[in-house]
Amino acid sequence: MFTGIVEETGVVVSFTEGAESWRLVIRADLVVDDLGIGDSLACNGCCLTLIEKNGQELTFDLLDETVRLTSLAGLKPGSLINLERSLAANGRFGGHVVSGHVDATGEILDFEPRGKNHYLRVSAPEAFRQYLVYKGSIAIDGMSLTVAEVHDDSLAVWLIPHTLEVTNLKERVAGDRVNLEFDLLAKYVERQMVFRQEAQ
């Protein structure tokens, strides 16, 4: 479980396809301190399991499905990647409930400075638009953000300068794909309502 509060941006060392899996190697600073083999790390919002640790380099195996369904497919050496360790039981909960299970990807439609802040609009797949509400939560590339606008085919958020400084957004442009995880609680509520309707 994660909160969507990015701890640091790592740098992709390599991302290659092997006989049994895809292998992602990243270099990080902060998150390596207490990360052990088998631990989970949210990488651009995608929960991955650490399989090797060599100094500042962390290695992960990815399934074909993970590569196909997320924006991780576009990673290349030198890419910045948002990193967050799983939530500690005694940790602060600064964002919202994020599972690290990416629902879909969206395309950045608008990304520009407006006044002192930045405006980001991202396309939203039709199958998930029912989870978008004004002032609700959304995880974009693992960042816990507040929905500022809901459009027919997209959502928009406002970003403070700090978010740009500590995440991979500093290298994002319109046309890029980003990982989207919609509100987990909303999905559970919807599922329970479906069960109740079917039981009547």
% pLDDT > 90, the chain: 80
In a domain, 90, yes or no: no
**Which of 105, 130, 89, 108 minimizes the C-alpha distance to 3?**
89
Residue 9: other Cβ atoms inside 10 A? 22
Q: In what order do the strands lie in the sheet with 104-114?
A: 143-146, 137-140, 177-182, 104-114, 117-123, 154-159, 149-150
- Is pTM, for the whole model, over 0.85? yes
In a domain, 63, yes or no: yes
- Judge contact between 25 and 16, C-beta under 8 A: no
Write down the residue that tokens 């039709």 correspond to.
126
How far apart, in whole angstroms, are the C-alpha atoms of residue 181 and residue 170?
A: 20
The enclosing domain of 47 has a CATH number of: 2.40.30.20
Q: pLDDT digit string (tens) for 20-41?
A: 899 999 999 999 988 999 999 9
In a domain, 93, yes or no: no
Residues 14 and 79 reside in one and the same domain: yes
- In this model, does residue 74 exceed pLDDT 90? yes
In a domain, 94, yes or no: no
Domain of 71, in residue numbers: 8-85
Domain ends where: 51, 85, 119? 85
Q: pLDDT digit string (tens) for 80-139?
A: 999 999 987 777 777 788 999 999 999 999 999 998 899 999 999 999 999 999 999 999
In a domain, 99, yes or no: no
Residues 114 and 159 reside in one and the same domain: yes
